[in-house]
Amino acid sequence: MREPSLTLPGLLGDIRLLVILFVAFRVLLLLAYPPFLIGGEERGIGVGGDRVYHYALVAQAKDNLYPFRDWWSEFPPAWYLTTTGLYAIGAKSYDTWSMAVALLCLLSEVGILVLIRRIGARLHSPNTGMALAWVYALMAAPAIYMWWNFDSWMTFFLLLGLWGLLEGKYTRSALAVAAGALVKFVPFLIFGAVLRFRTLKQAALYIAVAVGVFALAYGPLFALRADFALISLTAQFNKPSYQTVWALLDHNYGTGNFGTLESHLTASGVTDGVRDKNPPVIPGALRLGVVALIGLGIFVTTKRRDDVGVVAFVGVTLVLFYLQSQGWSPQWVSQILPLILLVLPTRDGVLIGVVLSLLAFAEYPFLFVRTGDTGGLMLPGTALFMPWVLVVLLRTGLLVLVAGLFYAKLRQAGRILSITSSR
């Protein structure tokens, strides 16, 4: 692939203008399609996402029921503690609460945009960094998923931690990674790059800070109610397979949604939505072990030692993690897109991101929204089943390709890193 060489004119090179347009576009969408409920049914810009599900849990605060004390969460604490706090301070109606959450997601999206520009400039050139920011601003997947989910929070902290790592500000980076892991666990995957590209002493201190802050945040939750705190750490990993090649092997044809609102009130309820699923044909430990061996091979054979190598290593770690995972959620594509752009700043890289986005939305909502007659399942023999299988196989193959391209970058010779700071 050819590295891009371009000179942006003054208008396109103005990051302030880009941020203004970026924010204005999303705010105007919010004003044009404001979220609201009619008879329990969502209308507006959030249709198709998980906002109503999250709001139903948060709104239990009106009955004095709060997360981690009275009901369990399948996520680490940052999401529900923050959104319950918004409800408690006055955002009680769905439309007000949803718009407040959307604005927080918009802040994280702006942060992602700025970090893509900064990291891209450091890895390649100022012009390339600015071009990548424009490309990200024009991609549909992040613009849509910020109204549906909250992965942008985690992605922002992942990129912030990556930026700090490249800059040699290790304590700040570790704190950002810990903050991101309190949204979702994914930022901890940066530890592999820390071990590969930094000294053992630096890596040990980095991991200790990140894990220590994470553990401190969980301390009060375990003191409050240990069983609910433990569920938030383990629920995602104990799910049966869904929306992956592993799910096809297991004959699990649904999504990874948990049970009903009531099931969140008792610790045993964490299995309510998954009891009818089949056990894995290939055990999770075996999948993880195979990927760990592949990761070890990548770790040992990496030649590149520059900043591009650091980002590529984080990227291949993330993609391999999702390839071995028993489940897949389409919004996770928004986590992968920034890394694809940063490591592969070419037309091919952009097109890969576009195709990955198309497959994500083809799966949900395009196909799964049509499964009402089958209880939300892609049953064999129905008209939707084979198109869905094709989407799963194509997405898996594309992720394998992305992992291979990231590894190809790691096999190239790069300049030796000169950062030795342990800040």
Residue 419 lies in a domain: no
Residue 423 lies in a domain: no
Q: Please count the structural domains in the chain.
A: 1
Residue 243 lies in a domain: yes
| pLDDT tens per residue, range 400-414 | 999 999 999 999 976
Residue 417 lies in a domain: no
Residues 184/76, Cβ–Cβ less than 8 Å: yes
Report the first-to-last Cα separation within the chain, whole angstroms: 36
pLDDT at 200 over 90: yes
User: How many angstroms separate the Cα of 284 from the Cα of each of 174, 279, 297, 317, 420?
Assistant: 28, 10, 20, 17, 38
pLDDT at 225 over 60: yes
Mean pLDDT of the chain: 92
| pLDDT tens per residue, range 155-181 | 999 999 999 999 999 999 999 999 999
Cα–Cα distance measured from residue 126 to residue 130, given in angstroms and rounded to the nearest whole number: 6
User: How many angstroms separate the Cα of 101 from the Cα of each of 60, 133, 147?
Assistant: 17, 24, 9
Report residue 84's pLDDT band, with 50, 70 and 90 as the boundaries: very high
Beta strand extents in 49-104 (DSSP E only)? none
Range in 52-66, 93-107, 274-288, 306-320 with the lowest mean pLDDT: 274-288
pLDDT at 421 over 50: no
Closest CA to 221 of 339, 421, 328, 76: 76
Residue 4 lies in a domain: no
What pLDDT is attached to residue 419? 40
pLDDT (average), residues 30-35: 93
Domain region containing 29: 20-411
What pLDDT is attached to residue 270? 86
